[in-house]
Amino acid sequence: MEVSVYNIKGEDTGKKVVLNDAVFGIEPNDHAIWLDVKQIMANKRQGTHKSKERSEIAGSTKKLGRQKGGGGARRGDIKSPVLVGGGRVFGPVPRDYSFKLNKKVKQLARRSALSYKAQAGSIVVVEDFTFDAPKTKQFIELTKNLKVSDKKLLFVLPEANKNVFLSARNVQRQEMAIASDINTYQVLNAETMVVTEKALQAIEGVLTNKEEA
């Protein structure tokens, strides 16, 4: 698949880049996408939820009533789970939600997500650029020139660029990412991907190298 390359003024440079079919043209695997997104979201969970059990509640251990003849269940002390203010039965405890996912599955998920974006025509390739100084106004002008200012964006750069990152920091509905670090969730969460030429090469390099993930 060929896509046009634009400059930061939104003008077609006349250049074309060919999207690698091994990365942007595969048959998407929805199950791999589901697994990868599930892992990404699970890894974000703190897992610090906690409720107090019977042994952790502060209160008297005095027996509230006699063992039998009260007309109801035996409740024991004031910390009993059947009483208001008592301990909770089988409540949440701190846990780690993260789980392992094979590198090849994660690669397949990213290629699948990128293929969906390519099929939808939601990938915009722009010439490599930088800003002389952090300026939000300059970044907003760039998105308007590319006619993507009304979209939820994922901007992909080949490497960290402080001026560009700071320029985009206060712009809503956009996320900056480095080509080697993009994940399936970021790709799917964006309506449009804006990728520089070098970033595109970096993405293809990572996802066609079997040693990478």
Domains and CATH numbers, the chain: 2-46+98-207 (3.40.1370.10), 51-91 (no CATH)
How many percent of the chain have pLDDT more than 90? 88
Q: Are 75 and 101 contacting, i.e. CB atoms less than 8 angstroms apart?
A: no
Nearest C-alpha neighbor of 143 from the set 128, 166, 124, 162: 124
Q: What is the pLDDT, as a whole number, of residue 212?
A: 43
Spatial distance between the Cα atoms of 135 and 138, rounded to a whole number of angstroms: 5
**Tens digit of each residue's pLDDT (9 = 90 or more) over 64-97:** 888 898 888 888 899 999 899 999 999 999 999 9
Average confidence score pLDDT of the chain: 93
Read off the pLDDT of each residue in 23-34 and give the average, rounded to a whole number: 96
In 1-148, DSSP assigns E strands to 2-6, 12-18, 123-126
Q: What is the pLDDT, as a whole number, of residue 76?
A: 86
Nearest C-alpha neighbor of 99 from the set 48, 50, 49, 37: 37
How many percent of the chain have pLDDT more than 70? 98
Locus of tokens 């024991």:
76
Written as six digits, the tokens of 131 are 């800003």
Q: What is the pLDDT, as a whole number, of residue 213?
A: 42
How does DSSP classify residue 20?
P
